[in-house]
Amino acid sequence: MKRPQGFDRGADRASGPFAAPAPAQERAETPAREPKGQKAAPLTVVDTEPIAVVHAAKRVDNPSARTTAGDLRRARRARKRYERGEVKRFTRRTRRRRAVWLISVGSVAAIVLLAVATAFSPLMDLTKIEVVGTSRLSSSAVSHALAGQLGRPLPLIDFGAIKKRLAGFALIRSYSTETHPPGTLIVRVVERVPIGVIQTAKGFELVDAAGVTISTTAQRPGGYPIVKLSEAVGSRRSKPGFDASAAVLTALPPSVLPQVDSVTAKTTDDVTLTLRGGQQVLWGSPDQSELKAADLAALLKDAPGASGYDVSSPQSPVSQ
C-alpha cells in the first residue's frame, strides 16, 4: 500500500496530554524545529545510569523505613500509656472506695487485736477488790468471799461465782460490779433495811420489808416493833397481812418507828399499831400511808397523853 505524502512516522503515536513520551534517544536524534533565519543548536546526548539511581533510592528509602518502625513503636507505647491513664481516671472512685474500706477493716482489726492482747495481758489481772455501801455488813468479809477471783484477767472474771458468793449474805439486797483497769473490781452493795421482828420458836428474827430474815437472836432486838402474824410464819411472804404491816412500817418516819411496840394485821384493811406506852393507832389500809404517818407524828406531838389515835381517814385524824 502506498503511503500518502506528508505521512510522518511519529504521527501514529498518541498525542495530547496522555501521549506516551518518546524514547530518550529518539528525542535526542529528532531535531527540534527552529524558526526561520536561525541556525539549529548542536545536539547533546545525555547518558543516564538507571542502576545508580536505583541504588541511590535504596540508600534513601532504608532510613525512612527504620524511622517509620520506631514511630510505630513509640505510638504503641503512647497509646498504652493513654489507655492506662483512662482506666485509672474512670476507676479512681472505685479504687478510692476500696482503699477506704481496706483501711477501715484493717484499723478495726488492729484495734480488736490490740484490745484482746491488752485485756489478756498480765497487766490486766485482778489484784484488788473494793466493797462499798455496807453499814451493818462487814466489807472485809465480802472481799474475803470473793478472793477466789484474784489473779484472773478482768475479762475472765466469773460473775456467776460472784453471785453465788454474795447470795450467802442475808443483808445484801442487791449489788452491782464495776471493773476499773488495770486490776480493780468494785462491788457496790445495797443492804436490806430491817423493819420489824418476828418471834419464832428459834428466837427473834429481824426481817426486812420482803420478809427476808436478816439475823436471828435469842433476845428481842431493840428499836424494832414485833410483827404479829395470824398465819403460819413460814408462809409470811405470801400473806397479805405481813405485806400490809410491812408497807405501814416502811412509811413511818425515823422519829415514830422506835415508839411502835407491835403491829397487827389480819387483813389488808385493818392494820393496827400498838405504841410502847400502850396506846393503839387505828391505821386501816396501807393506802396513803405517807400522809397517815405525817398525821400520826403531828398527833403524838400535839396530844402525847391521848389513849389512842385514829388516822384511818388521813383528812380528819382523831386522838382519843
Predicted local confidence at residue 99, as pLDDT: 85
- Give φ, ψ of 287 to 5 degrees: -65, 140
CATH number of 194-319: 3.40.50.10960
List, edge to edge, every strand of the sheet that includes 318-319.
Answer: 213-217, 203-208, 194-200, 226-228, 260-264, 271-275, 280-284, 308-310, 318-319
Evaluate whether 225 touches 257 at the Cβ level (below 8 Å). Answer: yes
Is the pTM here over 0.75, yes or no?
Answer: no
At 142, which amino acid appears? Answer: V
Tell me the three cell numbers of residue 320: 382519843
DSSP for 94-124 reads: HHHHHHHHHHHHHHHHHHHHHHHHHHTSGGG
Predicted local confidence at residue 232, as pLDDT: 46
Burial of 189 (0-12, 13-18, 19+ CB in 10 A): buried
CATH class of 124-191: alpha beta
Q: Are strands 213-217 and 203-208 parallel, antiparallel or unpaired?
A: antiparallel
Evaluate whether 270 touches 281 at the Cβ level (below 8 Å). Answer: no
Which of 139, 219, 129, 127 is CA-nearest to residue 172?
139
Region of residue 184 (left: phi > 0; alpha: psi -120 to 50; beta: else): beta
Distance between start and end Cα atoms, the chain = 182
Predicted local confidence at residue 231, as pLDDT: 55
Run of H or E including 281: strand 280-284
Q: What is the mean pLDDT of each run of 10 residues along the chain (320 residues)?
A: 49 46 47 49 48 44 62 85 82 84 88 76 85 90 92 89 92 92 92 89 89 88 85 54 89 89 87 91 91 91 88 88
Domain ranges of the chain: 52-118, 124-191, 194-319
pLDDT in tens, 230-276: 654 445 554 778 888 899 999 998 888 889 999 998 888 889 999 99
Q: What Cα–Cα distance (Å) separates residue 208 from each residue in 30, 104, 124, 253, 260?
A: 150, 55, 39, 16, 16
Run of H or E including 289: helix 289-302
The distance between the two most distant Cα atoms of the chain, rounded to a whole number of Å, is: 185
Predicted local confidence at residue 189, as pLDDT: 94
Evaluate whether 195 touches 246 at the Cβ level (below 8 Å). Answer: yes
